[in-house]
Amino acid sequence: MAQSKTLELDVQTPPKSKMTWEEFLAWVDEDAHVEWVNGEIIMTRPSGIRHQDIKLFLVTLLRQYVRAKKLGVVLDAPFLMRMALKPSGREPDILFVQEKHRKRLHETYLDGPADLVVEVVSPESIARDRGDKFVEYEQAKVKEYWLIDPVRTRAEFYVLDRKGQYRSVEPDAHGKYYSHVVRGFWIQVNWLWQDPLPLEEIVLKQIRRPK
């Protein structure tokens, strides 16, 4: 039993020196919440209940919708997205990869940008999600970026413009936000702040309903 505990500590303790991407992949446990940025390891804290609820709500909606429409792949953390410019290996809460970009997917990471990234903001991640990750996702050309902040009940949506810069896109007059990369998918932003959250099967019927 003591040997098992020692091994667990070794896996979870970040190394003191920088690592290459290949060394990082060999070191990291597939269930660990950890990111790789310019050779350095960033450990992230476990998420809270509200964060988990909203993430799983959105994952369920997106995954079922995307699978039914055969639009691509939806994955959630822990799963790494490798970007070359920083370089970095980030772990978005949710990512969507269009069918035409499926070749970017490897067994344990996405090699290149997702088409959509969703981050559910927590007190621990707010500076990272709005700062470093925002810049990295923009530079890597992640086409669409959602920032969901349950503490402030605020949702922000960004889409790359022709200059390769994020521009903010507001929900419509009825509070609906229509995705620019997941064809036909939309959410009512107020759904995210309900407690308890709406039932996914009821919400999906509304999303799939013809306009």
Q: What would the mean pLDDT of 72-94 be, rounded to a whole number?
A: 92
Query: pLDDT band for position 74 (50/70/90)?
Result: very high
At 115 the pLDDT is 98
The answer to whether 33 touches 122, Cβ cutoff 8 Å, is no
Model pLDDT for residues 162-203, shown as the tens digit of each residue: 999 999 999 999 999 999 999 999 999 999 999 999 999 999
Q: Is the pLDDT of residue 47 over 80?
A: no
pLDDT at 93 over 80: yes
Lowest mean pLDDT among 99-108, 116-125, 197-206: 116-125
Domains and CATH numbers, the chain: 47-208 (3.90.1570.10)
Which residue type sits at 86? K
C-alpha 77/C-alpha 53 separation (Å) is 13
- Report the chain's mean pLDDT, rounded to a whole number: 88
The predicted structure's pLDDT at residue 42: 77
3-class DSSP string for 97-126: EEHHHHHHECCCEEECCCCEEEEECCCCCH
Average of pLDDT values for 14-30? 77
Q: Residue for token digits 């959602």?
A: 146
9 or 141, higher pLDDT: 141
- Is residue 2 pLDDT above 50, yes or no? no
- Give the Cβ contact number of residue 94 at 10 Å: 23
Q: Is residue 134 scored above 80 in pLDDT?
A: yes
pLDDT score of 11 more than 90: no
